[in-house]
Amino acid sequence: MNQTIRSLLQTIFVGGLLSVGSINFAQERPAELKPWTEQMRSRYENLLLRDWNPQRPDHVAVTRVAKARFPVIDVHNHIEAPRDPASLDQAIAEMDAANVRTVVALTCGWEATLQRNIDELAGRFPGRFLICTQVDINSIDAPNFTETAVERLREAKRMGAVGIKFRKDLGCYLKDRTGSYVAVNDSRFDAVWDAAGKLGLPVMIHVADPIAFFQPWDEKNPAYPKLLKNPAFYFHGPDWAGTMRFTHDELLQQFEDILARFPETTFCGLHYASLEHDFERLSSLLDKHPNLLIETGARNWTLGIKPNSGRKFALRYQDRIMFGTDMRIDRAGYERFFRTLETDDDNIESDLSWGTVHGIHLPDEVLEKIYRKNAMKLFGLKE
């Protein structure tokens, strides 16, 4: 380069920097600026994290999916026979609007309560509701607990129940007379798991909870605002009585123990078996235990918050994932799930306190399996 030109460019470049520097930094700030910044900070610094509800400014396409592409079986719902039977008509209308063919009512009790739910749900609306029974785990200390539980399962099967529901109380809340928490793989339930397999009743089981509920409640915890609203969801360390609780890992190990010891019993790990944060471990669990299925209840964001690995996971385990919501029957709520599975939209609504949910646009053959075919196989339903 000509020396004259090089000198000229250096002069322009250095002069430009000095000029910019003199404009941006040489001028003194107004004396009022610091008091004003302190005033603004004091005005807005008291917003509580639990009240922070940021609205994303991004303008992106929204694909409405009011009706699922295929008829849906929602395997995770808690509808029960209402005091006002007319409210069931509204539930059916919401199901029809969303193309939800069947809802599985998980928490329908046992004996007389179970019979009432069977009569008023499945009886009034054939084909629209499937009914699951439960085990009275609060009677764990009764001398005949196991025998009573197994006999009630046999009776529930005769009454028309299609499965058994276990809440996260087992492992997270239930204590026995010793004051200790009852493990998921407590031997007093062995006969129940065995009977379920022999009766052909799949076990719909909620083990643990999101991993954040088992981590220290501090500035690093992604569930911080949710725990402020629901402190009873906090399972880290000792409880209010000083009793040590199971860790997330311990609960999953207990669950894997019963999966291994009762291979003839089919288990459905609700909420992605509480491993929605770790596809690697969840994949290992599914690979090792062919008697395990999972469902999507209350986790419409699981696949979409990490859309690349989420889509790969759904494709790989398309025969093991079922559609569930764990919400009231509502077409708007269903649509969030449909958009995540069917579209390639960004910024899909969710109940996350952080993170962006994207659509994963699954192929039709995979959608149909997740929406209904896997559940039809599990519950022995025909077209």
- The predicted model gives 179-208 an average pLDDT of 98
Inter-residue contact 229 to 189 (CB < 8 Å): no
Per-residue pLDDT band for 34 (boundaries 50, 70, 90) equals: confident
First to last CA, the chain: 80
- CATH number for the domain harbouring residue 151: 3.20.20.140
Mean of all residue pLDDT scores within the chain: 92
Domain annotation covers residue 264 = yes
How far apart CA 69 and CA 346 sit, in angstroms, is 19
Q: What does the pLDDT read at residue 54?
A: 76
Per-residue pLDDT band for 28 (boundaries 50, 70, 90) equals: low
Domain annotation covers residue 84 = yes
How far apart CA 123 and CA 130 sit, in angstroms, is 10
How far apart CA 370 and CA 341 sit, in angstroms, is 9
Phi, psi torsion values for 189, nearest 5 degrees: -100, 0
Tokens of 103: 């809802």
More confident residue, 19 or 74: 74
Q: What does the pLDDT read at residue 55?
A: 77
Per residue in 276-306, pLDDT tens?
999 999 999 999 999 999 999 999 999 999 9
Domain count along the chain: 1
Domain annotation covers residue 47 = no
- The predicted model gives 165-171 an average pLDDT of 98
Domain annotation covers residue 186 = yes
Phi, psi torsion values for 130, nearest 5 degrees: -110, 140
Domain annotation covers residue 335 = yes
Identity of the amino acid at 339: R
Per-residue pLDDT band for 225 (boundaries 50, 70, 90) equals: confident
Domain annotation covers residue 233 = yes
Q: 22 pLDDT exceeds 50? A: no
Per residue in 104-131, pLDDT tens?
999 999 999 999 999 999 999 999 999 9
Nearest to 165 by CA among 269, 319, 251: 269
How far apart CA 366 and CA 364 sit, in angstroms, is 5
Per residue in 58-79, pLDDT tens?
889 899 999 999 999 999 999 9
- The predicted model gives 267-276 an average pLDDT of 98
Per residue in 306-363, pLDDT tens?
999 999 999 999 999 999 999 999 999 999 999 999 999 999 988 887 789 999 999 9
Domain annotation covers residue 61 = no
Q: 7 pLDDT exceeds 70? A: no
Q: 56 pLDDT exceeds 90? A: no
Per residue in 76-103, pLDDT tens?
999 999 988 889 999 999 999 999 999 9
Domain annotation covers residue 204 = yes
Domain of residue 105: give its range. Answer: 72-379
**What's the pTM?**
0.89
